[in-house]
């Protein structure tokens, strides 16, 4: 064989060897597996939706925001203890100051539509919170840019208001105040006239109101006025639109009062209890439409609870004076601390997947399906 032919043969053998090695290496990188074991995805083990607790950065003053109100996912208003009213049109991402009443503690609020709204004030002479405004209820008909005081009531004029509920365009309720005196007011004609009832002989202070319909409702607060140290938690109920009330629950401990109400469904409801000092740190739960209530523990260490909100029967939050919030995903059976929310006082939900909460900070709450 000629030398040239041998040379070409060696080159062919060399190229064939390199090609075979590459094929073998490629086969080793992607071996054939029979009945492969599935890879475990930790995220897939989570039960229920993803919970987003989003901080809203827009500036709305440095004092606590006791209440807010959204008509839909975009348009809302928020008040604070310095008499400031801000408005948002983009779901809380940005806020504009549209009204301010100095030396006035704005305590509660509601809007019937884009134009008509209501603000309740704390009133005069509270021993711990300052407000220099004697009129407890104010009304706007231009989206909050100007306000008029309600000066006439059928019945005694309330001292101050801590809670406001809009049942429909014609029917609204309000009540207050913390540390007393205790008043309940209502309108059945869209706010043209208001009826007031003095409930001070029956309850020391009122912090929240909730009506299921025009006739059946609840008021929560405490048995004693002025000092929480002398009070027990108390719930009043009415079956005649607020004309008469009776006590349906009194707490087992002294040194506390009920604070806020949340009903995620017609049958299941929750109430937060603000406690000062040591003892059991309870919330209340009802599973029969508010007829009966049970004390349940949410914290084993001191926590000055205030706002409570449940977006459904299982998922909810309790806010308070500490720099964290309690969260449950099993209807209050167990609670965990989450690093979100500062002194949260109020929760309101737009639907079963979107809500808002406010206190020293303000947040948007979203449930995202996985």
280 burial type by CB count under 10 A (0-12 exposed, 13-18 middle, 19+ buried): middle
Digit-by-digit pLDDT tens for the chain (370 residues) are 444 454 444 444 444 444 444 333 333 233 322 223 222 222 223 346 899 999 998 889 989 999 999 999 999 999 999 999 999 999 999 999 999 999 999 999 999 999 999 999 999 999 999 999 999 999 999 999 999 999 999 999 999 999 999 999 999 999 999 999 999 999 999 999 999 999 999 999 999 999 999 999 999 999 999 899 999 999 999 999 999 999 999 999 999 999 999 999 999 999 999 999 899 999 999 999 999 999 999 999 999 999 999 999 999 999 998 789 999 999 999 999 999 999 999 999 999 999 999 999 999 999 987 6
Residue 172 near residue 140, CB atoms below 8 Å: no
| CATH number of this structure's domain 48-368 | 2.130.10.10
**H or E element in which residue 164 lies:** strand 163-166
Beta strand 305-310 pairing with 294-299: unpaired
**Global pTM value:** 0.87
Distance CA 78, CA 65 (A): 7
The domain locations on the chain are 48-368
Residue 117 near residue 93, CB atoms below 8 Å: no
């Amino acid at each position: 064989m000629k030398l040239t032919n041998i040379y070409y043969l060696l080159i062919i053998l060399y190229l064939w060897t390199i090609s075979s090695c590459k094929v073998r290496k490629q086969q080793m990188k992607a071996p054939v597996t029979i009945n492969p074991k599935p890879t475990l995805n930790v995220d897939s083990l989570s039960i229920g939706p993803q919970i987003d607790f989003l901080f809203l950065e827009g500036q709305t003053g440095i004092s606590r925001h006791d209440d807010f109100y959204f008509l839909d996912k975009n348009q809302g208003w928020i008040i604070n203890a310095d008499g400031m009213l801000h408005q948002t049109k983009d779901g809380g991402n940005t806020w504009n100051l549209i009204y301010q009443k100095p030396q006035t503690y704005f305590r509660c609020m509601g809007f019937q539509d884009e134009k008509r709204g209501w603000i309740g004030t704390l009133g005069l002479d509270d021993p711990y919170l300052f407000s220099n405004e004697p009129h407890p209820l104010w009304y706007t008909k231009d989206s909050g840019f100007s306000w008029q005081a309600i000066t006439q009531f059928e019945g005694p004029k309330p001292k101050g208001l801590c809670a406001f509920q809009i049942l429909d365009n014609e029917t609204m309720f309000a009540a207050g105040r913390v540390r007393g005196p205790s008043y309940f007011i209502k309108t059945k004609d869209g706010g043209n006239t208001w009826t007031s009832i003095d409930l001070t002989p029956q309850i020391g202070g009122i912090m929240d109101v909730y009506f299921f319909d025009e006739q059946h409702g609840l008021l929560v607060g405490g048995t004693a006025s002025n000092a929480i140290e002398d009070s027990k938690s108390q719930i009043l109920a009415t079956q005649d639109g607020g004309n008469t009330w009776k006590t349906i629950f009194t707490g087992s401990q002294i040194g506390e009062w009920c604070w806020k109400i949340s009903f995620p469904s017609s049958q299941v409801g929750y109430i937060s209890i603000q406690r000062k000092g040591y003892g059991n740190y309870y919330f209340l739960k009802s599973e029969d439409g508010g007829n009966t209530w049970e004390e349940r523990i949410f914290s084993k260490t001191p926590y000055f609870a205030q706002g409570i909100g449940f977006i459904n029967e299982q998922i909810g939050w309790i806010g308070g004076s500490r720099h964290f919030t309690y969260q449950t995903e099993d209807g209050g059976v167990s609670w965990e601390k989450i690093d979100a929310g500062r002194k949260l006082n109020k929760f309101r939900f737009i639907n079963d997947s979107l809500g808002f909460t406010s206190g020293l900070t303000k947040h948007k709450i979203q449930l995202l399906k996985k």
